[in-house]
Amino acid sequence: MMLNKLTIKQAQEKLETGDISSVDLTRACLDRIKKVDDKVKACLTVCEKEALAEAKKADERRANGEKSGLLGIPYIAKDNIMTKDVRTTAASKILENYIAPFDATIIKKLRTAGAVLLGKSNLDEFAHGASTENSAFGATHNPWDLERVPGGSSGGSAAAVAADMCLFALGTDTGGSIRCPASFCGVTGLKPTYGLASRFGLIAMTSSTDVPGALAKTVEDAKIVMDAIVGIDKNDATTVNARELSSGCALKGKKIGIPKEYFNEGLDIDVKKLVMQAVEKYEKQGVEIIDVSLPHNKYSVGVYYIITPSEISSNLARFDGIRYGFSDKESKELIDIYKKSRGKGFGPEAKRRIMLGTYALSAGYFDAYYLKAQKVRTIIKEEFDRVLSEVDCVITPTSPHTAFKIGEQSSDPLKMYLEDIYVSGASLAGLPAISIPVGFSKGLPAGMQIIGKRFAESALYNIGSAFQNATDYHRQKPELK
């Protein structure tokens, strides 16, 4: 078996027995990147020299008796996560040549664990999108069909895992940005509970929903990654020293809710069939299936796209052409520096969201839009809490369809925003959710979303792993040569 195709768990075992070294594993991933990334375009930066040096250090640490779940394991980080002395662009022209001066907390934790950073992955500019077409450096292609999108905004990370360029990747999820690409690329993607992992060192998008998470080949691998990066951080006041809620390992007696609002008109018939077949598998394993209702979820996209642009307009104000990033040095007046630097540096989607957010926060519209959206958000949260007090988790499709073709929806922003219909609700409520491969429709992978109680990631691992132990969808790979 080619080393880059290994799961984290498989690689751990081979590293511990001495069958392979981290240098071997890292070289295999770097060779794979060289072979296929000109087609997939998942990576914005590759750190070959640095990665091999880190791999050598990991082998030395292991030789000295050190053991760690991620020691010597190669990974790729989404390029809106700060990595010291490595270019960090957020896929924007305004940060095209920006070298991060420090590591994000999650990167620091991975370095401590001995994981090996291979490079940085492509994304929608500042994580604004659901297809990775909004990158200033070109679109990423889905390894299952190079004419299709990988999903977004963590599309580069998902595509890299699907194409076996790394053993896992880091992404960020604000309203589905890990789960959507996980579904389109046929990999596992976890959005943890808000506050479980530090946001310090993430280039901010929507502060009240943004979370870092893992894209991996299996649920088991996602858990290994998350165990390494979670925890309280003095640099992030939103992190909590949470005691994880455990629901045990046995499936028999578990209760899974099926919200009828997620299976209505607009859902592809093949995707619906695949998810319901998965539900039947759970039922055969002794799980009680309960019909539930989340009637206000239909407002989640509308709420999300008022709150998100509002926070974006505030967070992106720091990119002013003065402190860091691109600056239009030809301008002599301060206001012209602001206008021209931001005008040339930001792409169309970033500008659209800044304008929408500024409008929603402006005098006369704040109460009508932003305040009302926050009130509906509270209703959505309470509705999820009520349902999850009756069941262990909720199962839904991740996306209403499989991956669409590049350029097919890019001229219709509203249609693109509706891509988040099944994933934005959990984000607004701060809940953990995982997307796992549930099967294929016309040769393209589809995803199933499992949403759980806050800080009950263990239930998602348990229920997700049970499905993967009974199926092989997650083991199937695109024929990318």
Q: Would you call 153 a catalytic residue per the annotation?
A: yes
Taking the complete model, does pTM exceed 0.85, yes or no?
yes
Q: Which of 429, 436, 399 is nearest to 416 (CA)?
A: 399
Read off the pLDDT band of 245 (50, 70, 90).
Answer: low
Q: Which of 92, 131, 157, 177 is catalytic?
A: 177
Among the residues of 105-255, which ranges form H helices? 105-113, 155-162, 179-185, 219-229
Buried b (16+ CB within 10 A) or exposed e, 219-233: bbbbbbbbebbbbeb
Q: What is the pLDDT of residues 52-108, one digit of tens each?
A: 999 999 999 999 999 889 999 999 999 999 999 999 999 999 999 999 999 999 999
Q: Which of 263, 269, 248, 265 is nearest to 294 (CA)?
A: 263
Tracing tokens 């695949």 back to the chain, one arrives at 274
How far is Cα 364 from Cα 479, in angstroms, rounded to an integer? 55
Q: Which of 21, 22, 41, 78 is catalytic?
A: 78
Structural domain spans, the chain? 3-240
Q: What is the pLDDT of residues 353-372, one digit of tens each?
A: 999 999 999 988 999 999 99
pLDDT at res. 330: 81
* Helices 300-315, 348-361: crossing angle, 10 deg rounding: 100
Q: Would you call 313 a catalytic residue per the annotation?
A: no
CATH class of the domain comprising 3-240 = alpha beta
- Nearest 5°: the CA angle 82, 224, 165 is 60
How many other CB atoms are found less than 10 A from the CB of residue 252? Answer: 8
How far is Cα 93 from Cα 265, in angstroms, rounded to an integer? 39
How many other CB atoms are found less than 10 A from the CB of residue 96? Answer: 16
Buried b (16+ CB within 10 A) or exposed e, 309-335: bbbbbbbbeebbbeeebbbbeeeeeee
Read off the pLDDT band of 412 (50, 70, 90).
Answer: confident
Q: Which of 153, 341, 410, 424 is catalytic?
A: 153
Position 58, amino acid: A
CB 121 within 8 A of CB 77: yes
Residues 6+ apart with CB under 8 A from 269: none
Q: Would you call 207 a catalytic residue per the annotation?
A: no
Q: What is the pLDDT of residues 371-399, one digit of tens each?
A: 999 999 999 999 999 999 999 999 999 99
For all residues of the chain together, what is the average pLDDT? 95
How far is Cα 465 from Cα 366, in angstroms, rounded to an integer? 44
Percent of residues, the chain, with pLDDT higher than 70: 98
